[in-house]
RNA sequence: GCCGCGUUGGUCAAUCGGUUAAGACGCCUCCCUUUCACGGAGGAAUGACGAGUUCGACUCUCGUACGUGGUACCA
């Protein structure tokens, strides 16, 4: 039994972003590859940003992707409940206190306004300067490092709000190993004394990750590259808390960038360029604004995780199409790219197209059925639908395409693209289609071969090229220039429908 | 500004000191198909720049440029 434990620790603040899903995916793959556990922890320590429903939504997304966590707030059992940080408030407080007692952290009474004023002041003198709460000025600020213990006790007794900050060491090179990037070093004096415990008693991310990763026995911690700059704080915390030997191995994943321009991919980019950024539909409870998800746009979860896996990771071989099981087997952190990857929606669609093509009709059945039912198409036989699916799936990039590609098997086309016929239309052709109706009527065994023979026979007899007749025939049956072989379609929709559709179009011409 | 991280065709990427620098997406041409696709064949297009190390550098080192992240009582 392996002891590998990874976690995905999102904040329930809104839709689940591509980058988030990928972090979850890599964590899942790594855990599963090593026969370990993948846990979900909800980092809801910022009460201002908390969004109702976001937690369940995250769970739904992971489940849809097929990477459901083994442990989490939603899973019964699980040794480390609660998995919601807001419910572990007291635990963090205790460790923050331990840090203060050991002299690695201190109380700070400066108000946010005071600090903002300091920052503004520095900016005033030096446009590029930054006020840092660090060793150079912490002794001039309103904290327990400067105040006497009596003064501190008095302030606390009076109920003056305070935060607890880490006391970063001076002139120390903080070094750690990143599974993707190798050794990373930071000069301790350059990182400031981050707040560990906020005035409302909630921990900040910095304290919470460390405490929870330790308590939840996380062995490998993967997160986005944006966390790299604060890693030294976490490293020191692991050390100060006395857990250095149990510190997980870190991997900071490259960012997913916007397709054009530069920067991190955001929901806005999706809106602007016309593609989803969230895994599933997300409706903002405040604005009621709906953001379309990959699922609802018609992506297969298999394709979705496949394309995400290939953004930043590659197997080293030519193959690009992988099932989840294959990914689990092949995945390794040292094949993850260091640089960020721009998201390419065209390639994303290609993955989905490939998955639809390779998926069996039986597996596609339920999804396709749902789409047709949504459009009020009556489906009588699953078996027939499966044959139809096999016939058209090569032509579908998104699941929604199945509607256009399947309806005409069930209903007469609502509109006929007669512009496609008209230019080359003439009396001879018209006569052909008039005559073919009665000939079709006499076909006893209605199958594609018989239909084709009958069709070609008359064409030859009337001295018209078969090819010139096939296009009009197709448009009559399906309404436009698309779909599989015409005779195949004619067979499947049946003799009566075929004749009726010819007749309908003839009246339009 | 400071600090961190990065940089192979338009995009995703292979290569881990010696190759004509893979492959995929997209684009273009052709074949198949008198539909749309699938499939097949081919094409255009790449190592940011400059030094060094080396018999030899896309691969190692340094510098520059550029990009990106952080610089919150947000994660």
Task: Give A54-110 pLDDT, tens digit per residue.
Answer: 999 999 999 999 999 999 999 999 999 999 999 999 999 999 999 999 999 999 999
Kindly provide the residue ranges of all beta strands, DSSP E only, lying in A179-278, ordered along the sequence: 182-187, 195-197, 220-224, 249-253, 256-257
User: Tokens 């030519």 belong to which residue?
Assistant: A318
For A356-374, the pLDDT digits (tens) are 999 999 999 999 999 999 9
Q: Can you tell me the distance from the alpha carbon of A116 to that of A208, in angstroms, rounded to the nearest whole number?
A: 25
Strand B contact at CB of residue A376, distance < 7 A? no
Residue A309 inside a domain? The answer is yes
- B29 C1' to A346 CA distance, Å: 22
A328 and A265 in a single domain? The answer is yes
Residue A371 inside a domain? The answer is yes
Catalytic hit among A33, A267, A369, A495: A267
Tell me, what DSSP letter sits at residue A395? Answer: G
In this prediction, residue A509 carries a pLDDT of: 83
A116 and A187 in a single domain? The answer is yes
Strand B contact at CB of residue A197, distance < 7 A? no
In this prediction, residue A126 carries a pLDDT of: 80
Q: ipTM value, please give it.
A: 0.96
Write the DSSP string, A445-468: S-SHHHHHHHHHHHHHHHT--HHH
In this prediction, residue A2 carries a pLDDT of: 63
- B18 C1' to A37 CA distance, Å: 44
Q: Can you tell me the distance from the alpha carbon of A498 to that of A489, in angstroms, rounded to the nearest whole number?
A: 9
Quote the tokens at residue A342.
């721009």
A65 and A124 in a single domain? The answer is no
In the complex, which nucleotide's C1' lies nearest to the CA atom of residue A198?
B73
Is A205 in contact with A11 (CB distance < 8 Å)? no
**Which residue ranges of chain A lie beneath pLDDT 70?**
1-2
A272 and A332 in a single domain? The answer is yes
A504: domain range?
418-508
Q: Can you tell me the distance from the alpha carbon of A449 to that of A469, in angstroms, rounded to the nearest whole number?
A: 17
Other residues' Cβ atoms within 10 Å of the Cβ of residue A41: 25
CATH of the domain at A494: 1.10.10.350
Residue A208 inside a domain? The answer is no
A368 and A448 in a single domain? The answer is no
- B73 C1' to A99 CA distance, Å: 18
Strand B contact at CB of residue A78, distance < 7 A? no
A426 and A388 in a single domain? The answer is no
Q: Can you tell me the distance from the alpha carbon of A53 to that of A12, in angstroms, rounded to the nearest whole number?
A: 8
Positions of strand B less than 7 angstroms from a protein CB: 1-8, 10-15, 22-26, 34-39, 67-75
Residue A50 inside a domain? The answer is yes
Strand B contact at CB of residue A357, distance < 7 A? yes
Cβ burial A316-354 (10 Å sphere, 16+ → b, else e) = eeeeeebebeebbebbebeebeeebbebeeeebbebbbb
CATH of the domain at A191: 3.90.800.10
Strand B contact at CB of residue A494, distance < 7 A? no
Strand B contact at CB of residue A9, distance < 7 A? yes
How many domains does chain A contain in total? 4
- B17 C1' to A43 CA distance, Å: 47
A99 and A160 in a single domain? The answer is yes
Residue A215 inside a domain? The answer is no
Residue A172 inside a domain? The answer is yes
A364 and A429 in a single domain? The answer is no
Helices and strands counted in chain A (H then E): 20, 13
In this prediction, residue A206 carries a pLDDT of: 98
Is there a catalytic annotation at residue A430? no
Residue A6 inside a domain? The answer is yes
A138 and A165 in a single domain? The answer is yes
Q: Last residue of a domain, which of A197, A216, A237?
A: A197
A350 and A366 in a single domain? The answer is no
CATH of the domain at A391: 1.10.8
Closest protein CA to C1' of nucleotide B4, residue: A229
In the complex, which nucleotide's C1' lies nearest to the CA atom of residue A128?
B1
Residue A424 inside a domain? The answer is yes
A454 and A426 in a single domain? The answer is yes
A65 and A134 in a single domain? The answer is no
CATH of the domain at A331: 3.40.50.620
Strand B contact at CB of residue A434, distance < 7 A? no
Q: Last residue of a domain, which of A358, A378, A401?
A: A358
């Amino acid at each position: 039994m392996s002891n590998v434990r990874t976690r995905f620790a999102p904040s329930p603040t809104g839709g689940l972003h591509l980058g988030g899903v990928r972090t979850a995916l890599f964590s899942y793959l790594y855990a599963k590859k090593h026969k370990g556990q993948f846990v979900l922890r909800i980092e809801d320590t910022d009460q201002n940003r908390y969004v109702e429903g976001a937690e369940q939504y995250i769970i739904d997304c992971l489940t849809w992707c097929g990477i459901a966590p083994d442990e989490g707030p939603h899973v019964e059992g699980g040794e480390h409940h609660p998995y919601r940080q807001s419910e572990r408030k007291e635990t963090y407080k205790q460790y923050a206190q331990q840090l203060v007692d050991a002299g690695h952290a201190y109380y700070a009474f400066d108000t946010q306004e005071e600090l903002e004023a300091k920052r503004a002041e520095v900016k005033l003198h030096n446009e590029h300067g930054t006020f840092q709460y660090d060793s150079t000025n912490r002794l001039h600020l309103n904290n327990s490092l400067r105040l006497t213990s009596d003064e501190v006790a008095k302030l606390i007794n009076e109920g003056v709000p305070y935060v607890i900050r880490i006391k970063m060491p001076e002139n120390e090179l903080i070094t750690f190993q990143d599974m993707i990037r190798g050794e990373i070093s930071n000069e301790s004096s350059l990182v400031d004394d981050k707040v560990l415990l906020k005035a409302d008693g909630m921990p900040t991310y910095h304290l919470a990750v460390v405490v929870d990763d330790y308590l939840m026995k996380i062995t490998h911690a993967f997160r986005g590259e944006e966390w790299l700059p604060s890693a030294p704080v976490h490293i020191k915390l692991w050390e100060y808390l006395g857990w250095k030997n149990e510190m997980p191995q870190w991997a900071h994943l490259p960012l997913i960038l916007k397709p054009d321009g530069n920067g991190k991919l955001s929901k806005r980019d999706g809106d602007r360029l016309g593609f989803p950024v969230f895994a599933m539909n997300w409706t903002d409870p405040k604005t009621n604004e709906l953001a379309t998800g990959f699922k609802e746009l018609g992506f297969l979860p298999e394709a979705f995780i496949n394309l995400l896996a290939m953004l930043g990771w590659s197997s080293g071989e030519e193959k690009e199409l992988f099932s989840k099981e294959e990914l689990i087997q092949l995945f390794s952190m040292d094949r993850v790219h260091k640089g960020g990857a721009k998201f390419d929606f065209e390639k994303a669609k290609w993955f989905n197209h490939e998955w639809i093509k390779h998926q069996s009709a039986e597996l596609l059945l339920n999804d396709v059925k749902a789409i047709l039912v949504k459009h009020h198409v009556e489906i009588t036989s699953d078996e027939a639908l499966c044959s139809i699916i096999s016939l058209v799936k090569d032509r579908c990039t998104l699941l929604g395409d199945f509607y256009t590609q399947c309806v005409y098997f069930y209903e007469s086309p609502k509109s006929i693209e007669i512009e496609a016929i008209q230019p080359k239309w003439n009396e001879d052709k018209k006569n052909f289609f008039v005559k073919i109706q009665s000939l079709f009527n006499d076909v006893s065994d209605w199958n594609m071969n018989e239909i084709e023979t009958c069709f070609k026979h008359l064409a030859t007899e009337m001295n018209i090229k078969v090819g010139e007749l096939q296009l009009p025939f197709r448009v009559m049956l399906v309404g436009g220039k698309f779909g599989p072989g015409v005779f195949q379609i004619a067979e499947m929709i049946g003799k009566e429908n075929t004749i009726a559709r010819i007749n309908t179009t003839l009246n339009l011409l």
